[in-house]
Structure 1
Amino acid sequence: MIRLLHTADWHLGAALQGWSREAEHRAALAQLIALAKDRDVDAVIVAGDIFDSLNPSAEAQRLLYDTLRDLRAACPRATLALLAGNHDPAGRLEAPRALFELAGVHSVGVIARQGGALDLDAHLLPIRDSSGAVGAYLLALPYPRAADLPVAGAEVAGSTVVWGVRALYREAVEAARARIGSAPLVLTGHLHVAGGLESEGAERRILVGGEHAAPPDIFPEDAAYVALGHLHRPQKVGRESIRYSGALIPMSKTEIGYSHGATIVELGERGFASAEHVAFERSVAHLRVPAQGAIDVADIEKGLAALAIDPQMPDSARPFVHLAVKIDGPAPGLKSEIDAICEKFPIRLVSLAVERPQRADAPQVAPMRLAERKPLDLFREAFEATHGVAPAEEHLRCFDRLAEEE
């Protein structure tokens, strides 16, 4: 039996309206380390978005190194694998590889090749059980960037990007199978798999060229488990053995109701056996006022008082509050008025939504979320509106490169 701890989307260094999340991260990571030790896991897989930005702060990097040190102490024999996500500075995860290897940590920032072929020595890792025997292998693949994908020919139908991602995984799995035979194989991926539920405002559609989702059948049926990162809601996609572990902490108000934590996976002799999502306790509360709908401005103070928050609570533990108010007509100075009210309470106001009653004679238009539009489609429309002609292939390739560099 092989036991894995699957985690992702730590987003170290993230802030919420200028407020640091380090205290929350440290509390969640302490629970992660305790879980790994308690379950005596054979491997810890961090499936991307370790950092929140391509230029992480010194504090964020220190927190990563502290966590790796404590994980290694808690799980002396476990395979520890870090995979780069779209938020991560791939080079910074690659650069300390020699030092990571001294601690038994495998960091994979980019797709590595030797002579044009996938370098399995960089991507294929054995996972050993408590007896020291190899019970499975991990095929560690990071977020697929434009340069990692094979070039599709003119005969390819549909999305060339999805074709490229599928071809990359096919190549990697075939190479791994040639080396390990039929042994249980665990895959990783940091991408949006079709059917996964995303969080509005917290996740970008990330495949190159505006194509945002790959079908789950890019992962072969004989894969024992697929450890995914990018979507912040813990969930399965397509089949039981393809899963997002979800983020460690809420990254936006749309994630208040999520069960943040990590996933424990067990593999038997025939591959996937079970997956258990383990929820973590939140060290900082995320509250919506009111719980549903919107509140009158005159009732805000009463609503905040009803939270009954200890005024002696330290600043780093004060809850984040997402406030929704309803007004009828102009409201000059509204934000200043609300800020003055909130200052009376031990809270941190991080979002303010204003709702106005819709006029009876106003046309009913179905709203479209920006997340429902593909970036490439928006680029095509903007280009044609500006120049009066559709963008050429050269323009689309330039857009792909810029989208990749973002």
Structure 2
Amino acid sequence: MIRVLHTGDWHIGQTLRGFLREHEHARVFDALVALVEEREPDALVMAGDVFDSQNPSGEAQRLFYETLVRLHQARPAMTIVVTAGNHDAAGRLEAPRALLDAIGVHVVGNVRRPGGAIDLSRHLVPIRKDGAVAGHVLGVSYPTAACLPGLTAGRVRDEAGSPIVRAVRDLYAALHEAARPELAGLPYIVTGHLHVAGGLESEGAERRILVGGEHAVPPDVFPEDADYVALGHLHRAQEVGRPIVRYSGSLIPLSATELAYRHGVSLVTIGDGPARTEHVVIDRPVLFLRLPEAGDMALGELGDRLAALDLDPGLPVEARPFLQIRLARAGLPAGYRAEVDRIAERFPVRVVDVRVASVDAPSPDLAPVGGPMVRLAERDPEDLFRMAFLQTHGVEPAAPHLDVFHRARAGA
């Protein structure tokens, strides 16, 4: 029997409307180290999106490597497997591989096929317990086009069905077939960083990432022999299709739409019957609040509601709560967003999302284009950006797009 701690989507280096998240990441990594000390897992699997950017800052990289060392020190016998996500530069992540191997950390980047055959040593990681191999992790990173040989634009357009899904299925089949002789009936964990059909997305925080514009793969692309499939990419902890196919979710809310999630990690026990999964919630280091808690409010109520929070005015910036504000449209003045900022700056909060209800609906995410006439000056610029992006690209803007928008707006 082995215990595996499944986590993912750390997004180290992320900013939320210009606010750094380093303080929160440091605190949740403290909690992760404490959890390893308490639960004594045999392996930790990080299923992609280590960083928020393919070119992470020095501070983000320092925090990542310090966390790996702390995890190793907390439980030296624990195997650590880290896979690259769509936000990561796989080559950069793999670069210090020789050093990381020395502390039991195995980094899995792009698929390598020297001489045409898959280099299994880069993907199949043994889990050791009491000096013996007790299980295996088949590490698979985000499947880039380079990982899916044989794809061409013609195939994507012309073949019936989905050649992208077929290529992903073939990739997992090839990896599993290469690994099969090594498994010896021991617990077997497979990883993935992609959108599996049926998984619930976070609006504005995750994007469709498969090559060829494909959205999702079915849960049956993974080997039937797997005891557990550890997924990354979606930020809500959830199972998809089968109890053993699971997203652990992110460690902190990465957008205002994740306010209601119970962020944490999955602790998986394998080897004495079907895999058993426990979702372990990690307390948020910083509050993430919605005003009002339900419905919407008049702008004139904002000051009183902020005062009712009774927050310590001496809170440092990094510890101040994030705030999503929902406003009723009726009576909302032109330039209301500047007024929101003016009111909020008297309180120790960080406003990261302001949404306005339409006249016809209690609290939609965006006012409908065909609704009652509204002057341009009365529209939140972020709402206009979201609508323009959706009209142009057919999908909602993701968190990186919104971050660029807010930086451009702040510099205007």
TM-score (norm 1): 0.86
In structure 2, what is the equivalent of residue 387 of structure 1? none
In structure 2, what is the equivalent of residue 317 of structure 1? 319
> Residues 74-93 of structure 1: matches in 2 within 5 Å?
74-93=74-93
Question: Deviation per CA, 1:29-53, whole angstroms, max 9, x where unpaired?
Answer: 1111111121111111000000001
Compute the displacement of 1:291 (Å): 0.9
In structure 1, what is the equivalent of residue 167 of structure 2? 164
Letter in 2 for 1:80: I
Letter in 2 for 1:73: Q
Say how many residue pairs are matched: 369
In structure 1, what is the equivalent of residue 285 of structure 2? 283
Contact between 1:212 and 1:374, CA under 8 Å: does it hold in 2?
no
CA shift in 2, pair 1:353/1:377, >3 Å: closer
> Residues 6-405 of structure 1: matches in 2 within 5 Å?
6-129=6-129, 131-151=130-150, 157-270=160-273, 272-328=274-330, 331-358=333-360
Compute the displacement of 1:308 (Å): 1.4
Letter in 2 for 1:321: L
Question: Deviation per CA, 1:53-107, whole angstroms, max 9, x where unpaired?
Answer: 1110111000001100100000101111110000011111111111111222111
Contact between 2:299 and 2:332, CA under 8 Å: does it hold in 1?
no
Compute the displacement of 1:333 (Å): 2.6
Name the CA distance, whole Å, in 1 between partners of 2:226 and 2:182: 15
Compute the displacement of 1:180 (Å): 2.8
In structure 2, what is the equivalent of residue 396 of structure 1? none
Name the CA distance, whole Å, in 1 between partners of 2:189 and 2:4: 10
Unaligned runs of 5+ in 1: 379-406
Name the CA distance, whole Å, in 2 between partners of 1:150 and 1:220: 19
Contact between 2:324 and 2:353, CA under 8 Å: does it hold in 1?
yes
TM-score (norm 2): 0.85
Name the CA distance, whole Å, in 1 between partners of 2:370 and 2:143: 43
Residues 1:4 and 2:4 aligned together:
yes
Contact between 2:328 and 2:358, CA under 8 Å: does it hold in 1?
yes
* Structure 2 residue matching 1:295: 3-state secondary structure: coil
Name the CA distance, whole Å, in 1 between partners of 2:121 and 2:391: 36
CA shift in 2, pair 1:296/1:317, >3 Å: same
In structure 2, what is the equivalent of residue 403 of structure 1? none
Contact between 1:234 and 1:243, CA under 8 Å: does it hold in 2?
yes
Name the CA distance, whole Å, in 1 between partners of 2:392 and 2:114: 33
Of 56-65 and 96-105, more deviation after overlay is shown by 96-105
* Structure 2 residue matching 1:201: 3-state secondary structure: coil
Question: Deviation per CA, 1:163-201, whole angstroms, max 9, x where unpaired?
Answer: 000000001001100333433321000000011111000
Letter in 2 for 1:286: F
Letter in 1 for 2:302: I
Letter in 2 for 1:74: A
Of 96-105 and 61-70, more deviation after overlay is shown by 96-105
The share of aligned pairs that are identical, in percent, is: 52
Letter in 1 for 2:141: P
Unaligned runs of 5+ in 2: 362-368, 373-385, 396-412
CA shift in 2, pair 1:68/1:95, >3 Å: same
* Structure 1 residue matching 2:220: 3-state secondary structure: helix
* Structure 1 residue matching 2:275: 3-state secondary structure: strand
Name the CA distance, whole Å, in 1 between partners of 2:181 and 2:320: 54
Compute the displacement of 1:344 (Å): 1.1
Contact between 1:12 and 1:60, CA under 8 Å: does it hold in 2?
yes
Compute the displacement of 1:329 (Å): 5.7
Contact between 2:194 and 2:209, CA under 8 Å: does it hold in 1?
yes
Contact between 2:9 and 2:249, CA under 8 Å: does it hold in 1?
yes
Compute the displacement of 1:269 (Å): 4.7
In structure 2, what is the equivalent of residue 402 of structure 1? none
Question: Deviation per CA, 1:90-148, whole angstroms, max 9, x where unpaired?
Answer: 1111111111112221111211222111111111111112x222111111110000011
CA shift in 2, pair 1:376/1:327, >3 Å: closer
Compute the displacement of 1:152 (Å): 5.6
Letter in 1 for 2:72: R
Name the CA distance, whole Å, in 2 between partners of 1:374 and 1:141: 34
Contact between 2:47 and 2:85, CA under 8 Å: does it hold in 1?
yes
Letter in 1 for 2:294: Q
